[in-house]
Structure 1
Amino acid sequence: MDSRLITVRTGSRPTVADITSEAESFVAGRGDGLLHVFVPHATAGVAIIETGAGSDDDLLTALDDVLPTDDRWRHRHGSPGHGRDHVMPAFVAPYATLPVIDGKIALGTWQSICLVDPNGDNPTRSVRLSFLAG
């Protein structure tokens, strides 16, 4: 297995960051296998979604609807409502595994690999890309 850690700047607001190009570069020329994408953070996740047509903003809105940033959370350090950020990975898992065929990620037409970061307290995130040859 080969693995690489990349850094993604997410800024100070909730964001959905498309990391597909970094993942494509990582698997290019490797043949068949599996790409595993993992976010080693307690308050971030990985989603396979369409981007650029509003779905990324819709995902953040849906997370706000399901997990509001108010004072209901027992986990209270950080910015107001930060406790919900620690619950979010139960809804948006911190990993995804995708097939790689002939050095290309087998994504659907509109699918992208995205880092989902609702936590504005951490402006940068790490993402581990791992390739397991088939």
Structure 2
Amino acid sequence: MNTELLDVDTSRRRIVDLTSAVRDFCASQPDGLCNVFVPHATAGLALIETGAGSDEDFVDALERLLPRDDRYRHAHGSPGHGADHVLPGLVSPSVTVPVIGGEPLLGTWQSLVLVDLNRDNPRRSVRLSFVSG
């Protein structure tokens, strides 16, 4: 298995597009599967359209579903931090994409993004792993 660890800064963005990094990682790989994994209890990954407002709409929808208030039992950190710990139940911490000829088989408008609403930890690790088919 081939693997690489990315260090991602989310201090300025709640949605970080990882598509280019995934494409670069897969470029020299044979046919197989690329798994992208976020080893954090408060972040996730999604396949969404970006750049046309969908990324902001996605964040808005998540913030409506997971309001930042005092309703959470998990109560340390910034106000509403308990919502961050619920996020990975809605937005998976991993995504697996098929790869053919070094190219991840994403749809025309699909981008692979890191989703991080957590205001307490702006440094994230993302593990890319490739398994040949």
Superposition TM-score, scaled by structure 2 size: 0.97
**Per-residue deviation, 1:2:** 0.8
Residue 131 of structure 2 is matched in structure 1 by 132
Number of equivalent positions = 133
**Per-residue deviation, 1:19:** 0.6
**1:17-56 matched pairs, under 5 angstroms:** 17-56=16-55
Instruction: List, as ranges, runs of 4+ consecutive aligned residues in structure 1 with deviation greater than 2 Å.
Output: none
Can you list the C-alpha shifts for 1:8-52, whole angstroms capped at 9, x where unaligned?
1100x6600001111111110212100000000000000000000
- Say yes or no: does 1:113 pair with 2:112: yes
Q: Distance in 2 between matches of 1:56 and 1:71?
A: 26
**Per-residue deviation, 1:128:** 0.1
1:14–1:60 contact (8 Å) kept in structure 2: no
Where in structure 2 are there 5+ consecutive unaligned residues? none
Residue 15 of structure 1 is matched in structure 2 by 14
Superposition TM-score, scaled by structure 1 size: 0.97
Where in structure 1 are there 5+ consecutive unaligned residues? none
**What's the % identity of the aligned pairs?**
60
**RMSD, matched Cα:** 0.9
Q: Which amino acid aligns with 1:106?
A: L
Q: Distance in 2 between matches of 1:120 and 1:32?
A: 38
Residue 2 of structure 1 is matched in structure 2 by 2
SS class of match (1:76): coil
1:3–1:129 contact (8 Å) kept in structure 2: yes
**Per-residue deviation, 1:3:** 0.8
1:69–1:84 contact (8 Å) kept in structure 2: yes
Can you list the C-alpha shifts for 1:67-122, whole angstroms capped at 9, x where unaligned?
11111001011100000100010000100000001100000000000000000111
SS class of match (2:124): strand
